[in-house]
Structure 1
Amino acid sequence: MSDNWVVQNLENALNTWNQKLTEIWQLITQSPQQFKGGTIWNVIVNIHGAVQAIGLALLVLFFVVGIVKTCGSFAEVRKPEHALKLFIRFAIAKGVVTYGLELMLALFNIVQGLVSTIMTSGGLGAAQQTILPQEIVNAVENSDFWDQIPLWAVTLIGSLFIVILSFIMIMTVYGRFFKLYLYTAIAPVPLSTFAGEPTQHVGKSFIKSYAAVCLEGAIIVLGCIIFSLFAASPPAISPNAAAVTQVWSYVGELIFNMLVLVGAVKMADRIVREMMGL
């Protein structure tokens, strides 16, 4: 690390950004069972089991309501083909509620396979480090004391933005796990709506929403890959330009790319929902 105090401002901010990006890269490849050592997952599984009893009770209720609304008379229920259809619907709905946790984990694992494919195809086994170009370091170190005062102001503001954006990024990824746990805990209730034809749209919407949360990981990975490619190509700066101009150009474009990445991550849920027609 450079001994120059202006350079250190930027390097410290970039170190924070790189640490958070590395943490994000590790979290994206984790399953809910692995997150935080699995302590949260064990509690969620217990809650899911308790809610499952309520889901089975609602299953019967939605089934009866479905019969009342879809059948014109009791004579229709006595028809073999109609009775068989109702029985199959009830059996499938009960299976979805009973094995809902396994089905949700299977869907999550499928999406994780997509995330791994994107990582492999992108040629990035780990998060790429954003490094301060040597040209910027030389320009700052070769400037005199009075020129370094505005440089300090520029780097201070830039560093503040970089640190804030890095924390917004990591909070978004943590928020994704929070949503995964919420969906898993309460799953038996919306899944029980498959028992009735008039209410089955609730279960379909739930599954689509859960899939959208899972797919957020793919959007986040894509955003990180694109940012890494942008960051690997710093703006072309004339070596004859003033140090303040060089630093301002570099910091400005870097923050702009970070804002685009954070915006994409923050909008990952909306992007996926639009893709799935939610």
Structure 2
Amino acid sequence: MFDQIFDAIEEWMRGLLTGIIHSNLDRMFTDVNEKTSEIAVQVGQTPQGWNSSIFNMIENLSETVILPIAGIIITFVLCYELISMITEKNNMHDIDTWMFFKYFVKMWIAVYLVSNTFTITMAVFDVGQSVVNSAAGVITGSTEIDISSVLTDLDTTLEAMEIGELVVLVLETLIVSFGMKIMSVLITVILYGRMIEIYLYTSIAPIPFATMTNREWGQIGTNYFRGLFALAFQAFLMMVCVAIYSILVAGIQYSDNLSSSLFGVMAYTVVLCFSLFKTGALSKSIFNAH
């Protein structure tokens, strides 16, 4: 009698633990699969396409708050440029009318750059979007992970386990499931953080653009322009990370050892998050932006 009771309890616990394992495996990679599939969509959007409301606010702030400051800076820079140009010619003894023509051309270029700051800035991101869209057409691998469908002998493997082993496996699947949710949140933070950085970067664009035509001050604008290209091409590096991740996921060797398979997939997802996080610094390093 007692043996039947214990067998019934064991069967009930086995069914409960098996159900928990199945549930964890089914929902474990849902968030990560959704986020990795969204990366190409997110990074392939321009600032005005990602969120038009934020873009309009940033553009309005730039034109109403930052642009007047840029006007003061460009006036100072142009005056400084004129004074330096005149004093370089032996204190006005060797003045050539040609240099005034060059000065007016430079002044026109400076005013044009500041007046069309947002157009030029968005053109940089249009180039980055074009590169990302081209890369998306080349990347054909799938980032979808469905470990439960790959492990065809899952039920057989679970039936062969003892209750203690099933309890350990339940804890492992819970840990991995929690870790994968954290990874999905981190991917969202990285994607949204890049776009917010772009908006912050473009909001102050008129000021560095106002310095670009001056030899001494021009390094401010030049470095800013490098930063723009770094942010634009960071999206391409993110696409490369996704491509590498899809190849790694496709090459995973699944086995009856559920623990090694689970933590192996989680390790690749951690590598993906770390790589996405490093793309910003790598892109700035490539374009020598600081």
Q: With structure 1 as the length reference, what TM-score do the two structures score?
A: 0.88
Name the CA distance, whole Å, in 1 between partners of 2:253 and 2:260. 7
Aligned to 1:41: 55
Shift of 1:48: 1.7
Contact 2:172–2:259 (CA<8 Å) still a contact in 1?
A: yes
Separation in 2, partners of 1:67, 1:10: 70
Q: Is the 8 A contact 1:6 1:140 kept in 2?
A: no
Closer, same or farther in 2 for the Cα pair 1:75/1:98, shift >3 Å? same
Deviations 1:162-191 (A, max 9, x none): 111111111011011101111211100111
Distance (whole Å) between structure 1 residues aligned to residue 167 and residue 76 of structure 2: 72
1:77–1:83 Cα contact (<8 Å) kept: no
- What letter corresponds to residue 108 of structure 2 in structure 1? A
2:167 to 130, 149, 158: 149
Q: CA deviation at 1:69?
A: 4.3
Per-residue deviation, 1:76: 7.0
Distance 1:123 1:177 in 2: 25
1:203 and 2:221 correspond: yes
Match of 2:73 among 50, 58, 81: 58
How many pairs were matched up?
267
TM-score where L is the length of structure 2: 0.85
Amino acid at match of 1:94: V
Q: Corresponding residue for 1:230?
A: 248
Q: Which one of 17, 21, 29 corresponds to residue 32 of structure 2?
A: 17
SS of the residue 1:34 aligns to: helix
Q: 1:192 aligns with which of 196, 204, 210?
A: 210
Structure 1's unaligned 5+ residue stretches are 240-245
Q: Which amino acid aligns with 2:76?
A: L
- Residue aligned with 1:197, SS: coil
Q: 8 Å contact 1:69–1:198 — kept in the other structure?
A: no
Partner of 1:249: 260
Shift of 1:139: 5.4
Change (3 A) 1:79 1:159: same
Which structure 2 segments of 5+ residues have no match?
A: 1-17
Which letter maps to 2:110? A
Is 1:26 matched up with 2:54?
no
Kindly state the Cα deviation for residue 11 of structure 1 after the two structures are TM-superposed: 2.6
- 77 and 257 in structure 1: CA distance in 2 versus 1, 3 angstrom threshold: farther
CA separation in 2, counterparts of 1:272 and 1:33? 22
Distance 1:77 1:276 in 2: 40
RMSD (Å) for aligned C-alpha atoms: 2.2
